[in-house]
Chains A and B, each alone.
Chain A
């Protein structure tokens, strides 16, 4: 049993991601980050333990290497991943609870993704905040939301060939910490930072959880946390004891520490995808609008294309090839 390891993304999959739907990478990163944040927020409101929500983050990330994010509304995909992973855990959530929580998080009442008190442009009137009618879900809206989630649940499973195994680095990191001794600092303080790094990495469009094994993530988080805290680390190449080489460690540490800067830039920059201008959860409509503005064609991966099955696509390709040759 491969309890401690994860399947990893192939080079092809990572490449394909860059080519999906001609989706510019800044938009793709924004979609990834905001959707993962949404999953986390929903996990908290649903009182799902972080260990379960974290698995949903990983499952969602894996799914988006198989099918374009544009194939479905991002928030639906988030809800389906969370619903599925919770169902398999010791903390299942009824579909109705999931729907209610997402309806709230996506409503104007939610403070998620709203930049503080500053209300430059498109913000919600204060009186709308906390107005329950803004996130009331009618019976028919509920039924269609549930239908979309259930269809996506099966879709996600199919795209991952039904493998829902996710090994998280968190317990490993705690075990490793026990073996290490950063003498001068209380272990709890380092542990807190380690867990924060690991949780933040879940949100990172760098997909670290898809490209590196849990033991490496654990060691990198410890390294980054210890350095932040100014802890004195063993002088030897201690990471090798945990089967991580310095090359991988260096890569991961840089990756883990870079997210914060990226988020800040996206939030504060004029054209940042997380700026107040974008306001609220990134949606498919927003992304498509952005793409039109930039004069980009919205390519494959939109819902309609799914109807064409692979066989037909193959036939069509062959037709094209043949006519090229003839012509």
Chain B
């Protein structure tokens, strides 16, 4: 018996097992043939049984009922609780005509085995994760298998991040969110050690596409992508989900121009008001909002909108927008692009934990506003207005995903390109090649939020003044 999952084995093992499996299959087939004759017999029996089941299930529900409750017995389940009153005003007649909503929701049962799938090739094998392209044996359907990362020796069991990812994906249904078909486990179910998410397969992720493009996306294409992103994010926020790790490598693209949000490893449900103690260790550094960098413990949907802004910029240039080397450097990059915060533009920012150590240059007309227009000279006025608002330092000033969908930018020419007219790209995920990661990782579990210490940004805007003269600037960090 294959006690260890085939997925973990070497090629030779796999070949050997395939052989064993074939032999087993043959044996099974012979037996199946014999058993087939019994089938007809069994079926008749099963039908009789099914009827018995119906009865038993009903009895099972009723066996606790006391014989003489003052409510009429429910054996026939046709009784109204307050017969005397209701019969008079004719509700019995109306009953059948009343249109009641029926709620359909599936049932539950054991997970299937990963052996229902054949691995085709690895897509991604990173420090933590493992994603492969695979084919469902029965249907030939191509899927992506993502292994749930966890340490079997962890004293606290399965990671809540992975379980949340599964639950949130199960609850979501939207064309711009990757769909989870099922969760499967390794063949040996006496110990559940290998858990895989079976996801719909998409040919690309946006980071690889951007990395390979000889020319940037056209404005019409950027609009289509952004609209799809915003529409997926709007759905999430509408359903109380924060993604908390939006970035181009977590956005998938298929060959029909469809974008889908993936990787819900950082996501969670939040209420309104948001829970008071959310971790700040979310969002990959280059896409992390300033309030997180400054240590805010209460934050909301606006952190995702900041990431959307960063992705917007990246779609235009094919380069991540704010590539800080560490938290302090990330903040410096942000202030350079967006200006420094002031008490007017972001009331209360000074009260954030890490802001106490912040030494900012004296605010002036030149250093408090964004320089988006200068950085993206080809972007229309509406485009740079949208980008600037997404990159507002003050989270309350960022548009919601819904507001973004209504933005003027998408109505102006050039109009968003029809998805079907989207260019196709060579798929890396579909081939045998492996990719190397080139963005920082999402923060790991159990890491400590950085105490940024004193941050001296007072020299920062020397650069803006020197810019015309082509001089560099230096950033001092104490």
Please list the residues of chain A having a beta carbon within 8 angstroms of any beta carbon in chain B.
1-15, 17-18, 25, 29, 62, 65-66, 83-84, 87-88, 90, 92, 94-95, 146, 149-151, 153-155, 157-165, 204-207, 211, 213, 215, 223, 227, 233, 235-237, 240, 243-247, 249-251, 253-255, 257-259, 261-262, 306-307, 309, 311-312, 314-315, 317-319, 321-322, 324-325
User: DSSP class of B's interface residues: helix, strand, loop or mixed?
Assistant: loop
Contacts of B182 in A (CB 8 A): 161
How far is B60's CA from A229's CA once the two chains are assembled, in angstroms? 30
29 A-B contact pairs sorted by A residue (CB < 8 Å): A1-B173, A1-B239, A9-B107, A13-B107, A15-B52, A15-B53, A15-B56, A15-B60, A66-B110, A88-B160, A90-B275, A95-B157, A157-B163, A157-B192, A162-B163, A164-B163, A235-B85, A246-B81, A246-B91, A250-B71, A250-B74, A250-B80, A257-B69, A257-B71, A261-B66, A311-B1, A315-B28, A318-B32, A322-B31
Q: Shortest CB–CB separation between residue B359 and chain A, in angstroms?
A: 36
Q: Shortest CB–CB separation between residue B126 and chain A, in angstroms?
A: 22
How far is B156's CA from A149's CA once the two chains are assembled, in angstroms? 10
Is B227 in the interface zone, CB < 8 Å from A? no
Cross-chain contact B107 with A154 (CB below 8 angstroms) = no
Choose among B107, B171, B195 the residue that contacts A1 (Cβ–Cβ < 8 A): B171
If A154-B158, A161-B183, A258-B64 touch, whether A8 touches B190 (CB-CB below 8 Å) is no
If A15-B53, A246-B80 touch, whether A158 touches B192 (CB-CB below 8 Å) is yes
How far is B172's CA from A145's CA once the two chains are assembled, in angstroms? 35
Cross-chain contact B155 with A325 (CB below 8 angstroms) = no
Cross-chain contact B98 with A240 (CB below 8 angstroms) = yes
Contacts of B158 in A (CB 8 A): 153-154, 157
Choose among B53, B54, B81, B95 the residue that contacts A253 (Cβ–Cβ < 8 A): B81
If A87-B163, A262-B64 touch, whether A11 touches B57 (CB-CB below 8 Å) is yes
Q: Shortest CB–CB separation between residue A116 and chain B, in angstroms?
A: 24
Cross-chain contact A243 with B110 (CB below 8 angstroms) = no
Contacts of A237 in B (CB 8 A): 86, 91, 94-95, 98
Cross-chain contact B100 with A163 (CB below 8 angstroms) = no
Contacts of A159 in B (CB 8 A): 108-110
Interface residues of B in 14-52 (CB under 8 A from A): 28, 31-32, 34-35, 37-38, 52
CB-CB nearest in chain A for B86? A237
Choose among A13, A15, A158 the residue that contacts B185 (Cβ–Cβ < 8 A): A158
CB-CB nearest in chain B for A216? B103
Is B450 in the interface zone, CB < 8 Å from A? no
Choose among A151, A163, A207, A317 the residue that contacts B191 (Cβ–Cβ < 8 A): A151
Is B175 in the interface zone, CB < 8 Å from A? no
Contacts of A10 in B (CB 8 A): 107
How far is B32's CA from A17's CA once the two chains are assembled, in angstroms? 28
Cross-chain contact B60 with A254 (CB below 8 angstroms) = no
Is B111 in the interface zone, CB < 8 Å from A? yes
Contacts of A95 in B (CB 8 A): 155-157
Cross-chain contact B35 with A318 (CB below 8 angstroms) = yes
Q: Shortest CB–CB separation between residue B283 and chain A, in angstroms?
A: 20
If A206-B64, A251-B77 touch, whether A158 touches B110 (CB-CB below 8 Å) is yes
Cross-chain contact A162 with B183 (CB below 8 angstroms) = yes
CB-CB nearest in chain B for A90? B275
Q: Shortest CB–CB separation between residue A257 and chain B, in angstroms?
A: 6
Q: Which of B32, B86, B189 has the most CB of A within 10 A?
A: B189
Contacts of B69 in A (CB 8 A): 254, 257-258
How far is B98's CA from A236's CA once the two chains are assembled, in angstroms? 12
Cross-chain contact A309 with B66 (CB below 8 angstroms) = no
Q: Shortest CB–CB separation between residue B15 and chain A, in angstroms?
A: 20
Contacts of A233 in B (CB 8 A): 82
Cross-chain contact A161 with B110 (CB below 8 angstroms) = yes
Is B347 in the interface zone, CB < 8 Å from A? no
Contacts of B104 in A (CB 8 A): 5
Contacts of A164 in B (CB 8 A): 163, 167
Is B449 in the interface zone, CB < 8 Å from A? no
Contacts of B79 in A (CB 8 A): 246-247, 250
Contacts of A245 in B (CB 8 A): 95, 98, 100
How far is B65's CA from A253's CA once the two chains are assembled, in angstroms? 11
Nearest 9 CB-CB pairs, A to B? A154-B192, A15-B53, A14-B57, A322-B34, A318-B31, A162-B183, A5-B105, A243-B101, A237-B91
How far is B35's CA from A31's CA once the two chains are assembled, in angstroms? 38
Is B364 in the interface zone, CB < 8 Å from A? no
Other A-B pairs beyond A18-B56, A312-B1, 14, CB < 8 Å:
A2-B171, A14-B56, A17-B60, A146-B155, A154-B192, A155-B192, A158-B185, A164-B163, A235-B86, A240-B100, A250-B72, A251-B61, A254-B69, A258-B69
Contacts of B108 in A (CB 8 A): 7, 62, 65-66, 159-161, 163
Cross-chain contact A11 with B65 (CB below 8 angstroms) = no
Contacts of B436 in A (CB 8 A): none
If A95-B156, A324-B38 touch, whether A25 touches B63 (CB-CB below 8 Å) is yes
Q: Shortest CB–CB separation between residue A1 and chain B, in angstroms?
A: 5
CB-CB nearest in chain B for A149? B157
Cross-chain contact B34 with A94 (CB below 8 angstroms) = no
Is B413 in the interface zone, CB < 8 Å from A? no
Is B188 in the interface zone, CB < 8 Å from A? yes
Cross-chain contact A7 with B107 (CB below 8 angstroms) = yes
Cross-chain contact A165 with B192 (CB below 8 angstroms) = no
Cross-chain contact A15 with B190 (CB below 8 angstroms) = no
If A66-B109, A164-B167 touch, whether A255 touches B61 (CB-CB below 8 Å) is yes
Cross-chain contact B64 with A259 (CB below 8 angstroms) = yes
Contacts of A309 in B (CB 8 A): 1, 187-190
Contacts of A262 in B (CB 8 A): 64, 66
How far is B192's CA from A315's CA once the two chains are assembled, in angstroms? 23
Cross-chain contact A162 with B166 (CB below 8 angstroms) = yes
CB-CB nearest in chain B for A16? B53
Cross-chain contact A87 with B157 (CB below 8 angstroms) = yes
CB-CB nearest in chain B for A19? B56
Is B406 in the interface zone, CB < 8 Å from A? no
Cross-chain contact A205 with B64 (CB below 8 angstroms) = yes
Q: Which of B65, B185, B239 has the most CB of A within 10 A?
A: B65
Is B469 in the interface zone, CB < 8 Å from A? no
Contacts of B190 in A (CB 8 A): 306-307, 309
How far is B163's CA from A62's CA once the two chains are assembled, in angstroms? 18
Contacts of B71 in A (CB 8 A): 250, 253-254, 257
CB-CB nearest in chain A for B57? A14
